[in-house]
Amino acid sequence: MGFDMGTVDTGDTAWVLISAALVLLMTPALAFFYAGMVRAKNAMAMLAQNYLTIAVAALVWALVGFSLAFGPGDVLGGLHFAGLRNMTDAVPGYTGDAAQTIPPLAFVVFQMMFAVITPAIITGSTADRMRFGALGLFVALWSLLVYAPVAHWIFSPDGWAARLGALDFAGGTVVHVNAGAAGLAMALVLGRRRGWPAEPMRPHNLPFVLLGTGLLWVGWLGFNAGSALAADQVAAYAFVNTVLASAAAMLTWSAVERFRYGKPTTLGAASGVVAGLVAVTPCAGYVSPLGAMLVGVAGGALCALAVAVKTWLRFDDSLDVVGVHLVGGAVGSVSVALLATRGVNPLGDDGLFYGGGYGLLGVQLLVVLTVAGYSFVVTYLLGRVIDRTVGVRVSDAAEEVGLDLAVHGETAYEFAAYAIEPDQPVTDHAYPRVEERRIG
């Protein structure tokens, strides 16, 4: 069905395009957040992997991903929009009160940024040991086999989960539960980093972590408030709720650290901000400001405790993607069923605490478990196939010297720290003996 361009609201369109730019900013922000958390010898590699993800995921989304995610169908969209054809047609399912007031192409580019940052999150689980080429192949295939179907189930009004009444305002399940489960799967496929957990692998640059956190905080306002797809009251609620939940989570995580270890750290504060942002994502446009604060407290506390699970279970989720994104996304998605109110968003539902009953809670739990299970299984199988064909892990020697030199032939800081000339070629498979003298 054709889209009536006469219904376009220029204010809504401007807001969504600005929000898309803010969400794009989140992936370089995530790159700095992650780069500061790894050891110095892997900082540039972490940045490079996230920029690679932007390029690969954006192209895949334009070629076929958007069509699979938002074309008509219960389980998967077709190829009607492949190559960004038929952009004068309305996006299926957006009718009645939910009819879009922005051009279809504006919706495409806004959703593109979600498709970009979701696989980028996974690089936190694979840090320090995944091959660059294998990552590019993984992002392309994962975007098609995992992200597009999950986005269709929940974000598309035609998807089976949306038809059941599942609520996910900005991606608690589609982005965070999905990426968290995939991160766990890839951590298992890759195995542990050399020396983990006996060897301390502390963040090498906390200012980078805080810089990345600040940029994520700003970008997330577009991520959540932009998901209203209009410059209206719901967008304002999502904006305010995003700030309040992240603030509450930061203080809560810091309090948990103070109680458990005796000192609140800047790394903990930054992690708390991100945990709160993750937790409020699925409910930002459905809950009241007080509800958002409760979600932030729950997300900050539970994610702070969850990051210790990897040590107990001995899986090497390098940068706590499981503890923050899988757990935080699940906390937020379940919180919708408890705290959502039609007083904030008439297109939503009333949660259990607002007299809504247990039906929505059952739907939210079903969707969280389904997405987590599907993402984990398909990602694990995909990782194994890539490992058997092109290989997913760098060599032991490359891991020892660091991915910056071994894969990219450069360092984040100064070449004088290494016994190697700046223009001397270094590859993953063959490089001269080097002596790490100061950093890494």
| Closest alpha carbon to 222 in 182, 184, 180, 170 | 170
**Which CATH fold would you assign to the domain 5-389?**
Ammonium transporter fold (1.10.3430)
For residue 14 the two structure tokens come to 């401007």
314: left (phi over 0), alpha (psi -120 to 50) or beta: left
What phi and psi values does residue 130 have, to the nearest 5 degrees? -100, 140
Where in the chain are the domains?
5-389
Angle between helical axes of 206-225 and 10-37 (0-180°, round to 10): 160
Q: What is the pLDDT of residue 3?
A: 86
- pLDDT of 127 reads 97
Question: What is the residue-level pLDDT of the chain in tens, covering all 440 positions?
Answer: 788 899 999 999 999 999 999 999 999 999 999 999 999 999 999 999 999 999 999 999 999 999 999 998 878 999 999 999 999 999 999 999 889 999 999 999 999 999 999 999 999 999 999 999 999 999 999 999 999 999 999 999 999 999 999 999 999 999 999 999 999 999 999 999 999 988 889 999 999 999 999 999 999 999 999 999 999 999 999 999 999 999 999 999 999 999 999 999 999 999 999 999 999 999 999 999 999 999 999 999 999 999 989 989 999 999 999 999 999 999 999 999 999 999 999 999 999 999 999 999 999 999 999 999 999 999 999 999 999 999 999 999 999 999 999 999 999 987 554 444 444 444 443 333 333 333 33
Sign of the CA dihedral with 151 first, then 157, 163, and 166 last? positive
For residue 75, what are its two tokens?
A: 């389980």
Instruction: Quickly count: other Cβ atoms within 10 Å of residue 56's Cβ.
Output: 21
Element (H, E) at 365: helix 359-389
pLDDT of residue 414: 77
CB 279 within 8 A of CB 249: yes
What pLDDT shows up at residue 74?
Answer: 79
pLDDT at 97: 87
